[in-house]
Structure 1
């Protein structure tokens, strides 16, 4: 696992309802950056976006 992927996964896990909007945008930028520079592949890119969406959804349940 690449360090950028580890960092993104950590950011998603630590996402809270109070900092949802600014952190969500930053995490999406980090995911795109990691994909663009080849640190992660398409499968991981999609998995991280899905994890982010699920985390956001769970905060509002």
Structure 2
């Protein structure tokens, strides 16, 4: 089974499936969050507001 990783815009909560090289969301001009800012684990649930491993919030 192929597990999808996601990127999230911290400003508007836009998310998409991670593609190598994707760094910024062009609408908000915001850097996309690729991993949890607390523990560095990949984001597997784009609907979550917090990391299930360390509890750190994904959005500002």
Identify which of structures 1 and 2 has the higher relative contact order when contacts are C-alpha pairs closer than 8 Å and 6+ apart: 1
* More helix per residue: 1
* More strand per residue: 2
